[in-house]
Amino acid sequence: MSLSLDHLVILGRDAAASRAFYADLLPLLGFERRRDDVWVNGDGLHVQVLAAEAGTRAYERRGPGLNHLGFRAPTADFVAQLREAMLAKGHAIQPIQHLGGAHALFMPDPDGLRVEVTWYPPGKNVVD
């Protein structure tokens, strides 16, 4: 089994400037604008551009840069099993978050970049 990358969240110190840049670039790469801060391509990869919180450093939860990589899980059980497997390997893994019915697991790498694996219930949008 392989999981597909379903979204990237980019936080900018100047959200308007970042959105303007991605509004120019992403359509040239085959992305369609869904709303002011979200673009999606034909493969279902979503790119969301949001504002970083003032005073944050890179890789902090709301800091500037690539915020996290998001993978779609096939089931909610997969998310729970993945958490247990990573804990068993000695990694500091956060609890599963329940976000509007979705089951989201955020796992920071050694430098703080988070990898998210989430199961979405039917009808739940990736970046809502």
Distance CA 91, CA 109 (A): 9
Delimit the domains of the chain by residue range: 5-119
Residue 57 scores a pLDDT above 80: yes
The CATH superfamily label for domain 5-119 reads: 2,3-Dihydroxybiphenyl 1,2-Dioxygenase, domain 1 (3.10.180.10)
In this structure, are residues 63 and 56 in contact, taking their beta carbons and an 8 Å threshold? yes
SS (H, E, C) 22-47: HHHHHHHHCCEEEECCEEECCCCCEE
**28 versus 36: which is more confidently predicted?**
36
Question: Which residues 6+ apart lie within 8 Å of 39 measured at CB?
Answer: 22, 26, 27, 31, 32, 33, 46, 47
Rounded to whole angstroms, what are the CA distances from 94 to 37, 105, 114? 27, 7, 10
Phi-psi map region of 30: left, alpha, beta (phi>0 left; psi -120 to 50 alpha): left
Q: Per-residue pLDDT tens for 80-107? A: 999 999 999 998 888 999 988 999 999 8
In this structure, are residues 46 and 33 in contact, taking their beta carbons and an 8 Å threshold? no
Stretch 50-63: mean pLDDT: 87
- SS3 state at 97: strand
Whether the predicted model's global pTM rises above the 0.85 cut: no
